[in-house]
Amino acid sequence: MSAGELEAAPVPASARLRHVPRLVLVVAVVAGLYAVGPAYRGTFFLTFLVDVVILGLAALGLQHMVGSAGVLNLGQAAFFGLGAYGGVWTLQHWHWGTLPALGAAIVVALGGAVLMAPLLRLRGVYFAMASFAFGAMMFEVFGQAVSLTGGENGLFLIPPPRVFGHTVMGGEEDYFLVLTVALVCYGAYAALARSGYGLSLHAVRQSENGARAAGVNVARMHFVAVCLGVVPAALAGVLYAQVHGIVQATIFDYNQSVSLITMVIVGGVASRWGAFAGALLAQYVSVYPQVIAEYRFLLYGGVIAVLMIVLPGGLASVAPALRRRLRVLRVRRGRGAAL
């Protein structure tokens, strides 16, 4: 058969329809997420979900670094803060809208990634500790640079989000805005994972020496992964500042970095949506058990320990584990019927 005949050969219907169930599932999930806004309009639960999505967005970028590139960054809160202060500066001094402020936040966060680039020469726990020190250094900058960040008092009277001339009035509209930004970032990461960059990054994650032997520039891939990983954190910073109307240095301390890496681990290092599942659990434990508020961190640590023992792959591994279990039960049932 000639090349022209091969190109003209029709694609089998089974191949065309193979991805239809997944597409239907994605559309249903997205529609369900947007339906939550009207369903819980005016409730505290919707405000809670807004914070979950913002924190999940920051954790999503960290998941890309850790899960896709194997770069254990313990200073992600620094980029959360850089994005917040960079975006707020344009909002308060130049009176830009939300979309330009998001762009400015990305530029500032990428500047921070360039500053951290020399640390990428380190590997493993050494880079983790160096990135933690970088985050602690940036926290001090946030607290001391009074003219830029307001110091320990922070910045107040931050205007609400304004998109295409429309001022977002809070509540349901806040939820729609942060959800849309999160879905765009999620979709972008999903597309990157299937690109040549994603394949190269997967090779680096599996074996740096093997990837290097195949011609992959490992150092460049790590740097690009960090740059891409700080973008959602920067966006989350601006959204947090505009939704709450205030930004303070204490929000971006080392506790926040630890919380973000914990969200990734609990949700599942290898899963993008696991970052949001981890954020949901972390925010729930932080907000709802008011009766035992003073033992909140003890409860949080206990939940994490149990999850790591029962589900080493995080919350994202629940569905695959159930599918494997059901498959085993079906096989056993079939063997029993045959006997």
How many beta carbons lie within 10 A of that of residue 209, not counting itself? 9
pLDDT confidence of 221, banded at 50, 70, 90? very high
Question: Under CATH, which architecture does the 33-297 domain have?
Answer: Orthogonal Bundle (1.10)
Percentage, residues of the chain above pLDDT 90: 70
Say yes or no to pLDDT of 1 above 70. no
Reading phi first (left if > 0) and then psi (alpha if -120 to 50, else beta), residue 12 is in beta
Mean pLDDT over 316-329 rounds to 80
Please report, as a single letter, which amino acid is at residue 62: L
Predicted pLDDT at 316: 84
Q: What share of the chain is helix, strand, coil (3-state, %, to 5)?
A: 80, 0, 20
Predicted pLDDT at 5: 44
Least confident of 2-6, 104-108, 109-113, 292-296: 2-6
Phi first, then psi: what are they for 155, rounded to 5°?
-115, 135
pLDDT, tens digit, 9 for 90 and up, residues 204-216? 999 999 999 999 9
Say yes or no to pLDDT of 79 above 90. yes
pLDDT confidence of 196, banded at 50, 70, 90? very high
How many beta carbons lie within 10 A of that of residue 52, not counting itself? 23
Tell me which residue of 52, 47, 48, 46 sits closest to 259, measured CA to CA. Answer: 52
Structure-token pair, residue 18: 């193979």
Phi first, then psi: what are they for 72, rounded to 5°?
-85, 95
Predicted pLDDT at 41: 92
Say yes or no to pLDDT of 44 above 60. yes
- Report how far residue 266's alpha carbon sits from residue 288's, in angstroms, rounded to the nearest whole number: 18
3-state secondary structure of 162: strand
pLDDT confidence of 291, banded at 50, 70, 90? low
Predicted pLDDT at 138: 96
pLDDT, tens digit, 9 for 90 and up, residues 235-268? 999 999 999 999 999 999 998 999 999 999 999 9
The residues, any chain, with a CB within 8 Å of residue 315's CB and separated by 6 or more, are 266, 267, 268, 274, 277, 278, 281, 307
- CA dihedral (66, 71, 74, 77) positive or negative: negative
- Report how far residue 284's alpha carbon sits from residue 48's, in angstroms, rounded to the nearest whole number: 8
Please report, as a single letter, which amino acid is at residue 36: V
Predicted pLDDT at 17: 47
pLDDT, tens digit, 9 for 90 and up, residues 103-141? 999 999 999 999 999 999 998 899 999 999 999 999 999
